[in-house]
Amino acid sequence: MIFQIANALLLGGYYALIAVGLAFMMQVMRVINLAHGTLAILAAYAIWLLADRLDVVPFGGALLVLPPMALLGWYLQRFLLERSARGGELLPILSTFGLSIVLDNLMFQQFGADTRSLSPFIGDLAWASYELPGGIFLGKVPVWILLAAILVIGALQAMLARTALGRRIRATALDPVTAEIVGIDARKTAAAAAALATVTVGLSGLALGLRGTFDAYSGAPQLLFAFEAAIIGGTRSLWGTLAGAMILAFAQTIGAMIHPQGFLLGGHLAFLAVLFARLFALDEALRAPFRRPSQDERTNA
């Protein structure tokens, strides 16, 4: 029992890491990138290639892969999201979905149907663990992933709250036109936010590869996990996303305990339950993170 709780906690750490980039873009830039999971797989393959062909340890490989990921995020915003957003709020969904189909199948073309993992490249570390009092063993890598998720969320929150870039991002998110008036380059700011989000996606690709296996079509389930964690967590702060990731992981663990095929179903049902509760809750406080401003509020503002 304690073993399962510990494992759910660590799994939640991975979900938090994959969800934080999506939640950041949803909360701050108000867009959902449907290629989010696919980009994590792309990073995982890049790190795998470096390890397999050039013997670069995955942690070093990630350091090499993260800058190109940031650049990718920047250009994704400038050339795909920005351009398609001009045609309305629905087109970015379609263009990023198209991108995910292209990338998924290109990766399948390149790497085939075999599942890959990064764990063979980290030696003994793959099964090394910390022993807690009471005979509980926690895998070192999953613990690091959980810590990395907490660190990334803390850093992003601090950046938003304290730095000049954070202020620019918040201003652009609130109202890009007014932000431009006070001298902010809204397009560059949006691209910088997308670059930051994509760096976290790269990190989660490393985490996925270290924790388990992936193949060319693993992007879609990662997108769904990230989305569920982000929605369960609400749109108030990225710490909510961490909580959402934990709830998702615990619901999946409970699902798996009830029925051998209940793992995914448990997570989905928790997501739907939270959605239902929030949409129909009478309690305004509960609804607030999910409610859009009504027309009156917008005119008054």
Partner 1 sequence: MTASAPDMRVDRSTKATRIGLWAMLAVALLLAVAPWYAGAGVINRLTALCVYVLLAAMWNALAGYGGLVSIGQQMFFGLGAYATIRLSEAGVDPFVAVALAGLAVALLSWPVSLVMLRLRGGEFAIGMWVLASVSHLLVNLDPLIQGETGRSLVALNAYDTETRRLMVFWMALLAMLLVLGLLAALLRSRLGLAIQAIRDNEEAAGSLGVDAFRTKQVIFVLSAFGIGLAGAIWLASATSFQPKTYFSVQWTAYMIFMVLVGGIGRFEGAILGACLFFLIETWFAATGVWYLIGLGATAMVFSLYLPKGAWGAIGLRLLPFGYSVTQGNGDRT
Q: Is 239 exposed, middle or buried (0-12, 13-18, 19+ CB in 10 A)?
A: middle
Quick check: 263 and 252 in contact, CB under 8 A?
Answer: yes
**Candidate ranges 6-14, 46-54, 97-105, 121-129; the one touching partner 1 (CB under 8 A):** 97-105
CB-wise, 265 or 286, nearer to partner 1? Answer: 265
* Contact between 97 and partner 1 per CB under 8 A: yes
Which residues in 31-70 contact partner 1 (CB under 8 A)? 31-32, 34
Q: By CB under 8 A, name the one of 6, 159, 171, 264 that touches partner 1.
A: 264
Q: Which helix (H) or strand (E) holds 282?
A: none
CB-wise, 32 or 136, nearer to partner 1? Answer: 32
Give CA–CA dist 220/260, Å, rounded: 22
C-alpha radius of gyration, the chain, whole number: 20
* Contact between 258 and partner 1 per CB under 8 A: no
Q: Is 143 exposed, middle or buried (0-12, 13-18, 19+ CB in 10 A)?
A: middle
Nearest to 100 by CA among 186, 15, 226: 226
Q: What is the DSSP string of 1-56?
A: -HHHHHHHHHHHHHHHHHHHHHHHIIIII----TTHHHHHHHHHHHHHHHHHHH--
**Candidate ranges 51-59, 161-169, 207-215, 220-228; the one touching partner 1 (CB under 8 A):** 220-228
CB-wise, 95 or 200, nearer to partner 1? Answer: 95
* Contact between 223 and partner 1 per CB under 8 A: yes
**Candidate ranges 41-49, 88-96, 115-123, 134-142; the one touching partner 1 (CB under 8 A):** 88-96
Per-residue x/- mask for partner 1, residues 270 to 299, rule CB under 8 A?
A: -xx--xx--x------------x--x----
Nearest to 80 by CA among 68, 66, 67, 97: 97
- Residues at the interface with partner 1 (CB under 8 A): 26, 31-32, 34, 80, 83-84, 87-95, 97-102, 105-106, 108-109, 220, 223-224, 227-228, 231, 259, 261, 264-265, 268-269, 271-272, 275-276, 279, 292, 295
